[in-house]
Amino acid sequence: MNKRLLCAAAAGALIALAWGAQSSDASAKDTLPIGVIFPTKSIIGQQGVQGANIAADLLNADGGVNGKEVRLIVYDTNYSPVEGVAAVERLITQDGVHVVAGEISSTIALAAIPVVKAEDALLMLAVPKHPDVTKSDYDRVFRLNTTSTMDAASFNDYLKNKIAPAKIAYLAENNDFGRLTLDDAKKSFGSKIVFTDIFEVKQSDFSALASNVRGSGADLVCIMASNPEQSGNLIKSMADVGYMPKRCLTPGVLNNDFPKVAGAAAEGVFSEDIYAPSIDTDLNKRFVTSYEAKYKSVPGKIELLGFESVWITGLAMRKAGTVTDTKKIAEVLRANPWPTPRGTVAFDKSGQASSDHVYHVEVKDGKVVATQR
Amino acid sequence: MFDLVLQQLANGISTGMIYALIALGLTVVFGVMHVINFAHGELYMVGALCSVMLTSRLGIPYILTVPIAAIAGALIAIVTDRIAISPVLPRKDGHALVLITTFAASMLINETVVASAGPGPIPSPGIGGWVLSLGPVALSAQRLLVIGVGLLLVIFLQLMLMRTKFGRSLRAVAQSAWAAEVVGVDVRKIAFLTLALSGLLAGLAGALVVPIVTFSAAMGSHAIINAFVIVVIGSMGSFVGAVVCGVALGVAESIASIAMSSDASSAIIYSLLLVALLLRPQGLFARSAR
């Protein structure tokens, strides 16, 4: 009897699922699906997704794109190229998207490019920083973030001229981004670098590393860690062993979650960024207000890049008058400047974005405060 | 240099005790039920989540959240047992099936936490920010607490195992569930209590460790790998083995980090696992196990 009941319940559930799928298919006809990929189990990935959601909300509040409501299909890449490629394939071949937006990892971005190229889709990358991302021979790959080389040129000059350290320690996460940052630092500072170390992306206990860097006697410690759990725990561990030199994070990774993790040890940590939530423009105010209303926190740079990856895509589709012709959308993207919360963004021939401003950011009284440089 | 070695020794002991705390629950389940519980890391994560939520949302003092987190871990372990272990264990190839069902349960728990609480980070104040400095060596209060509780736990568990009726039943089931049943031990009850104990230990570990590592939904999956290594090297089912091997691995990692990069020193753990499996597959503490 129990088995019969179970079978009946299972059949009922299947019918309900099929009905639901049919309903969603019907509603999907009037929507524009845009694929979004991020490592959604990480904080930084969630920040990107939330930014993308706000872009979809604002585009839809303005009447959608070419008469269609923007609908985001979000998949987790889990910092794994295998999972990232599978997510992109599924988005294009099963979900029928023509544009894939988002992502944090350069490794995943580089792995996804051949898949996107094979399907004539467009890839609008949010965060990946490796220079090679926009050096493929495919003309429909765009990147919103600055590259690590662009960051190094700007930030390292600032460190040399304004901070003028005698001994520098560089600590970086073990990925392409981290290793590139170390290489750029060695080129910029030469023998002033007295200590370097690379840690795993999933490491959470930094007591040993903090003790080693204290032993180096560096008067400036620079940290390259994408996740605030890691940069925050590392700074906290350094404070635990009584080591508080000048401390900076490499550009673009100092956000509002960092002081939450590091606590009092975060005070005075500085960096550089392309975005500050205090920028006084109508679009930025709209972005920040919408984000705060939906997620009860202030958006940072990752949220902005997630936002831009969908926002600029939507604007370009409107201007191109098509949601499927990715070649035309790519041409329109390169040919026009795009208004975003950080100012105006333009793409060069390679698909690399640039914008108007750079901000000095620093933790003061537990908050990240920005001043324009 | 000597100062640095001393500091790394202290770091290694505290890091190793963190490993050991997570491994204790895993080893008891394997030792008694011969089950590899892939959801164990998520029980540790749930304990950490419970502690940070109670402190950050309800303002409950940290120290009071520790026992509550331990109970939460035990409850989730019981639920995991009911949905993913007990129904499949009696079947043919039940022990192999449990690997998959507990993995599924771990994903379910993790996705539920990500969907409801987000991936983090949620910091925990712990017992305070003060640091004990002895010459060149500095250790935070939270790390000292972890070391102290870890030592007390292993003494308590060892006494319980050797001196109580429950401990004797536990050892009897570990040696042979069939023989234990023949002499009147309620094997199902012991299995249930073992799972609850492992969840209790995992939840406790999560609450103790979270002020050091900060809560994130991924913390369980990261921690479980090292815990498995420790359980294998220290002999599956041995409390003393888990603590000694946990601390030894922590110290090895920390000392090695002086000479090599952090990511390379992590490879030490896996090298030791390989060597241990080749030379002494039953584990270093096999005699004292169970």
Please, is B144 exposed, middle or buried when counting C-beta atoms within 10 Å of its C-beta (0-12, 13-18, 19+)? Answer: middle
Model confidence pLDDT, tens digit, residues B130-156: 888 887 788 888 888 988 998 898 888
pLDDT at A373: 66
CB contact under 8 A, B4 and A203: no
- Expressed in percent and rounded to 5, the helix, strand and coil fractions of chain B are 75, 5, 20
* CB < 8 Å to B214, chain A: 204, 229, 232-233, 261
- Least confident residue range of A296-305, B2-11, B160-169: B2-11
Per-residue pLDDT, averaged over A356-368, amounts to: 85
CB contact under 8 A, B263 and A199: yes
Cα distance between residue A157 and residue A358, in whole Å: 13
Model confidence pLDDT, tens digit, residues A271-308: 998 888 888 889 999 999 999 999 988 898 899 999 99
**Res B234 pLDDT > 90:** no
A37, β-bridge pairs: A75, A102
Question: Which residue of B4, B7, B130, B270 is the best one to mutate when testing the A interface, meaning the one whose CB has the most A CBs within 10 A?
Answer: B7
Model confidence pLDDT, tens digit, residues A317-360: 999 999 999 999 999 999 999 999 998 999 999 999 988 778 88
Peptide bond into B87 cis (omega under 30): no
- Is residue A251 within 8 A of residue A146, CB to CB? The reply is yes
Instruction: Tell me the pLDDT band of A23, cut-offs 50, 70 and 90.
Output: very low
Per-residue pLDDT, averaged over B148-170, amounts to: 88
Residue B233: which H helix or E strand, with range?
helix B219-233
Cα distance between residue A346 and residue A306, in whole Å: 16
Model confidence pLDDT, tens digit, residues B235-263: 777 788 888 888 888 888 888 888 777 66
CB contact under 8 A, A205 and B218: no
Which string of b and e fits B62-71 if b means at least 16 CB within 10 Å? Answer: beebbebbbb
**3-class DSSP assignment, residue A325:** coil
**Res A99 pLDDT > 90:** yes
pLDDT at A64: 93
- Which of these, A37, A39, A41, A34, lies nearest to A56 by C-alpha position? A34
CB contact under 8 A, A211 and B7: yes
Question: Which residue of A207, A226, A302 is the best one to mutate when testing the B interface, meaning the one whose CB has the most B CBs within 10 A?
Answer: A207
Instruction: Tell me the pLDDT band of A372, cut-offs 50, 70 and 90.
Output: low
Per-residue pLDDT, averaged over B34-49, amounts to: 90
Per-residue pLDDT, averaged over A83-110, amounts to: 94
pLDDT at A83: 92
Mean pLDDT of chain A: 87
- Do you know the residue count of chain A? 373
Maximum Cα interatomic distance, chain B, rounded to a whole number of Å: 60
* CB < 8 Å to B217, chain A: 41
Cα distance between residue A185 and residue B181, in whole Å: 66
Cα distance between residue A307 and residue A34, in whole Å: 13
CB contact under 8 A, A229 and B121: yes
Cα distance between residue A216 and residue A208, in whole Å: 13
The CATH fold of domain A149-273:
Rossmann fold (3.40.50)
Domain with CATH 3.40.50.2300 in chain A: 30-146+279-354, 149-273
When CB atoms are compared, the residue of B11, B121, B258 closest to A207 is: B11
Cα distance between residue B32 and residue A164, in whole Å: 61
Q: At what angle do helices B141-163 and B165-175 cross, to 10 degrees?
A: 80
Which residue pairs from B190-195 have beta carbons closer than 8 angstroms and sit at least 24 positions apart in sequence? Answer: B190/B32, B190/B166, B191/B32, B191/B33, B191/B81, B191/B86, B192/B78, B192/B81, B193/B166, B194/B28, B194/B29, B194/B32, B194/B33, B194/B170, B195/B29, B195/B33, B195/B37, B195/B77, B195/B78, B195/B80, B195/B81, B195/B85
CB contact under 8 A, A205 and B123: no
ipTM value for the complex: 0.75
- Is residue A42 within 8 A of residue B218, CB to CB? The reply is yes
Model confidence pLDDT, tens digit, residues B77-127: 999 999 998 888 888 888 889 889 999 999 999 888 888 876 667 778 888
pLDDT at A138: 93
CB contact under 8 A, B218 and A202: yes
CATH 3.40.50.2300 for domain A30-146+279-354, yes or no, is yes
- Percentage, residues of chain B above pLDDT 90: 21
Instruction: Indicate the CATH number for domain B2-123+138-279.
Output: 1.10.3470
CB contact under 8 A, B257 and A208: yes
CB contact under 8 A, A257 and B121: yes
Closest residue on chain B to A200 (Cα): B263
Here the tokens at position A292 are: 């705060």
- Is residue B246 within 8 A of residue B284, CB to CB? The reply is no
Instruction: Tell me the pLDDT band of B18, cut-offs 50, 70 and 90.
Output: confident
- Do you know the residue count of chain B? 290
**3-class DSSP assignment, residue A33:** strand
* CB < 8 Å to A46, chain B: 118-119
Model confidence pLDDT, tens digit, residues A160-193: 888 899 999 999 998 877 888 888 888 888 899 9
Residues of chain B that touch chain A, judged by Cβ-Cβ distance less than 8 Å: 3-4, 7-8, 11-12, 14-15, 18, 110, 114, 118-121, 123, 129, 131, 133, 138-140, 143, 212-214, 216-219, 222, 253-254, 257-258, 261-263, 265-266
**Res A20 pLDDT > 50:** no
Task: State the residue for tokens 């993995």.
Answer: B103
- Percentage, residues of chain A above pLDDT 90: 52
CB within 8 A of A98, min separation 6: which ones? A92, A121, A122, A323, A324, A326
Residues of chain A that touch chain B, judged by Cβ-Cβ distance less than 8 Å: 40-43, 45-46, 174, 197-200, 202-205, 207-209, 211-212, 214-215, 228-229, 232-233, 240-242, 257, 260-261, 263-264
**Res A14 pLDDT > 60:** no
Question: Which residue of A199, A201, A205, A253 is the best one to mutate when testing the B interface, meaning the one whose CB has the most B CBs within 10 A?
Answer: A205
Here the tokens at position A212 are: 């080693």
CB within 8 A of A296, min separation 6: which ones? none
- Percentage, residues of chain A above pLDDT 70: 92
Here the tokens at position A349 are: 């021939």
